[in-house]
């Protein structure tokens, strides 16, 4: 390859580097700006959940996300619970039947029954996506996945 060719390619590489740096930077900023939950370090209500969210008492932790099991089916499809690493993930599984709810990875299992929801308060010291399953559904050969706990690095 000629000398000019080489310099041209290096120049092209430099141009790409500059363009991407300029383009990607604001996105990084807006990423955080659009999504206050990322900084809050708290759980956010799952999609499709239309409970009123805490507004006035912002000092208090927001109410836990509710996951409702109706006849073994999770209402509104597989739920998503978000938390930052090093915070606390709070959620409640309300079931109309006896069930064992298992959070993988953290390996926490709690019983739920009619009128006795399973309340979880998990210190999020592990990062990743963790499946939350109903053991009753699993034993019956149904889809056991009811929600995912998404713990992002803080």
- Both tokens assigned to 67: 């996951």
Q: CB nearer to other proteins: give 114 or 128.
A: 128
- The verdict on 33 binding other proteins (CB under 8 A) reads no
Q: Of these, 85, 92, 94, 108, which contacts other proteins (CB under 8 A)?
A: 85
Torsion angle in degrees (nearest 10) through CA of 148, 104, 70, 121: -80
To which H or E segment does residue 10 belong? helix 3-34
- The verdict on 27 binding other proteins (CB under 8 A) reads yes
Q: Of these, 22, 24, 56, 59, which contacts other proteins (CB under 8 A)?
A: 24
Least distance between other proteins and beta carbon 73 (Å)? 12
What is the C-alpha to C-alpha distance for residues 23 and 93, in angstroms, rounded to an integer? 42
Q: Of these, 49, 63, 104, 108, which contacts other proteins (CB under 8 A)?
A: 104
What is the C-alpha to C-alpha distance for residues 38 and 32, in angstroms, rounded to an integer? 7
Q: Of these, 41, 50, 80, 96, which contacts other proteins (CB under 8 A)?
A: 80
Q: Are strands 88-95 and 65-70 parallel, antiparallel or unpaired?
A: parallel
- The verdict on 22 binding other proteins (CB under 8 A) reads no
């Amino acid at each position: 390859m000629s000398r000019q060719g080489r310099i041209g390619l290096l120049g092209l590489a430099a141009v790409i580097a500059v363009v991407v740096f300029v383009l990607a930077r604001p996105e990084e900023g807006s990423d955080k700006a659009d999504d206050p939950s990322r900084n809050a370090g708290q759980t956010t209500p799952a999609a499709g959940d239309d409970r009123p969210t805490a507004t006035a008492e912002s000092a208090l932790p927001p109410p836990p996300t509710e996951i409702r099991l109706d006849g073994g089916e999770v209402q509104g499809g597989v739920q998503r619970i978000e938390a930052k690493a090093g915070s606390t993930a709070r959620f409640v599984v309300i079931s109309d039947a006896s069930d064992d709810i298992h959070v993988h990875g953290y390996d926490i299992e709690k019983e739920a029954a009619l009128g006795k929801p399973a309340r979880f308060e998990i210190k999020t010291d592990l990062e990743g996506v963790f499946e939350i399953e109903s053991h009753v559904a699993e034993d019956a050969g149904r889809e056991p996945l009811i929600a995912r706990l998404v713990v992002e690095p803080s």
